[in-house]
């Protein structure tokens, strides 16, 4: 009886150690990260780490159509490939999640802004009807587009700014496609500093 009791305790300790280490490794390899930018009045969650994304912030070379900033979320694996091999010559880069932030000085409704700015909104490539949405408490329109990559697009108007969220994907079942909706659902608008 004593041997069974000792064997049971050893098994429980080993299983507990295994699950503890496994959970610790998973939390180290990927972690939810909060992007917050008071200048843009924007906050959202995304997964960082080896199986997640790398976020890049880019300022425009010029203030084209009121573009203030571009945020690109690229899968860590794709970023590593680009660093090792460089950008493809004459080819296309990987699918990404992209967020462009613009001034909305004319206080355009998201649908009107999208129609007027097709080079940023993919509106001319839409393959679905647009739907009225609310993202982070702000008015938005949502539609699907098909170009080099298929994409889900949200154009959001809030606080004198337009936010264009584009989730590109090759395959409906890709991680990019699955990760885009939770990212948009996590959007919060925060008080802005002067831009």
> Is the confidence at residue 122, as pLDDT, over 70?
yes
Q: So what's the pLDDT on residue 24?
A: 41
Contact present, 37 and 161 (Cβ < 8 Å): no
Domains identified in the chain and CATH numbers: 30-189 (3.40.1000.10)
Per-residue pLDDT tens over the stretch 60-113: 987 677 999 999 999 999 999 888 887 777 767 899 999 999 999 899 999 999
Q: So what's the pLDDT on residue 11?
A: 45
Per-residue pLDDT tens over the stretch 3-35: 564 444 544 445 444 444 444 444 445 689 999
CA-closest candidate to residue 154, choices 144, 146, 142: 142
Residue in the block written with tokens 């948009």: 184
Length of the chain: 195
- Tell me the pTM: 0.81
Average pLDDT, the chain: 86
Q: What is the 3-state secondary structure (H, E, C) of 121-134?
A: HCHHHECCCCEEEE
Per-residue pLDDT tens over the stretch 172-194: 889 999 999 999 999 999 988 66
């Amino acid at each position: 009886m004593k041997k069974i009791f000792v064997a049971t305790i050893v098994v429980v300790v080993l299983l507990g150690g295994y699950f503890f280490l496994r959970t610790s490794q998973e939390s180290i390899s990927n972690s939810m990260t909060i992007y917050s930018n008071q200048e843009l009045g924007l906050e959202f969650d995304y997964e960082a780490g080896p199986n997640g994304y790398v976020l890049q912030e880019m300022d425009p070379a010029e203030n084209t159509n009121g573009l203030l900033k571009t945020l690109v979320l690229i899968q860590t694996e794709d970023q590593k490939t680009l660093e090792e091999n460089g950008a493809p010559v004459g080819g296309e880069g990987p699918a990404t999640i992209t967020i462009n932030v613009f001034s909305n000085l004319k206080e355009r409704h998201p649908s009107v802004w999208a129609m007027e700015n097709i080079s940023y909104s993919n509106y001319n490539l839409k393959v679905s009807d647009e739907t009225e949405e609310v993202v982070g408490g702000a008015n938005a329109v949502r539609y699907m587009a098909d170009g080099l990559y298929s994409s889900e697009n949200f154009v959001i108007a809030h606080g004198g700014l337009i936010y264009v969220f584009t989730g590109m994907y090759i395959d409906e079942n890709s991680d990019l496609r699955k990760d885009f909706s939770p990212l948009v659902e996590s959007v919060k608008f925060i008080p802005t500093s002067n831009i």
